[in-house]
Amino acid sequence: SQTIHQWPATLVQPVGSPLSLECTVEGTSNPNLYWYRQAAGRGLQLLFYSIGIDQISSEVPQNLSASRPQDRQFILSSKKLLLSDSGFYLCASTEGTSGFPQKGEQFFGPGTRLTVL
Amino acid sequence: GENVEQHPSTLSVQEGDSAVIKCTYSDSASNYFPWYKQELGKRPQLIIDIRSNVGEKKDQRIAVTLNKTAKHFSLHITETQPEDSAVYFCAATFAGGTSYGKLTFGQGTILTVHP
């Protein structure tokens, strides 16, 4: 089964500072990977998804970006953080075959809680 | 695109009672419907799912039903316990196609089970 790692677990950053969150996946190959953000007391907002190395799609226009330099590594970045970027960032993974998940089960990493002050 | 509506937004029950959470979806092509449980400060955990080729699935105290004609699906928890207290999310997707596994989530239901 898949194991998803995220770090850091918590982060406090000033407005205008850069951001880099990392996600790595074990136990599967060629996963589809996803970044979600969850504001306090709210639902899950899909930010980016990736079906392969260097193949990234954005769901919501914003000051965040994502990269996938390796098959099982997914990075979320920002050059300048805004107050509204605060939230719980979750990486998720689905087993895929050339980008088309056959089973559908999506599993989440432990998350990074980001506070922008 | 897909749209998922979830009700109720909050649900309070007494220990031992049953709890039912309902979701409706808009895209008739959706064929995979998972349910997640999220405890405070934790990640969402997949607790049960159902595919469009079945109408009901059970796993101990939890069950999910699907009505494709009406495009709605429901989570049923029997004999609720305080540890069932959490936020529950439903979701829908077309697994196997160019949706690339993207899940559309409902807004969540806060379930509180009182001892």
Per the CB < 8 A criterion, the answer to whether A101 and B96 are in contact is yes
Most distant CA pair in chain A: distance in Å?
42
- The arithmetic mean of pLDDT across residues A3-10, rounded, is 96
Name which of A59-68, A81-90, B91-100 the model is least confident about: B91-100
What whole-number distance in Å separates Cα of residue B76 and Cα of residue B65? 8
Instruction: Name which of A7, A37, A44, A58 to mutate to probe chain B: the one with the most chain B Cβ atoms within 10 A of its Cβ.
Output: A44
Q: Does A61 touch chain B (CB under 8 A)?
A: no
Burial class (CB in 10 A: 0-12, 13-18, 19+), A58: middle
Residue B42 predicted with pLDDT over 70: yes
Which chain B residues are closer than 8 Å to A57 by Cβ?
A: 100
* A75-108 tens-digit pLDDT: 999 999 999 999 999 999 987 655 555 567 899 9
Which region holds residue B29: left if phi is over 0, alpha if psi is between -120 and 50, else beta?
alpha
Nearest C-alpha in B relative to A5: B43
**Secondary structure class of B70 (helix, strand, coil):** coil
The Cα of B72 is separated from the nearest Cα of chain A by a number of Å equal to 18
**Closest partner CB to B96 (pick from A42, A90, A100):** A100
Per the CB < 8 A criterion, the answer to whether B6 and B20 are in contact is no
Q: What percent of chain A has pLDDT over 90?
A: 72
Q: What average pLDDT does chain A have?
A: 90
Among A10, A9, A8, A13, smallest CA distance to A78 is for A13
- The arithmetic mean of pLDDT across residues B18-29, rounded, is 96
pLDDT of residue A5: 97
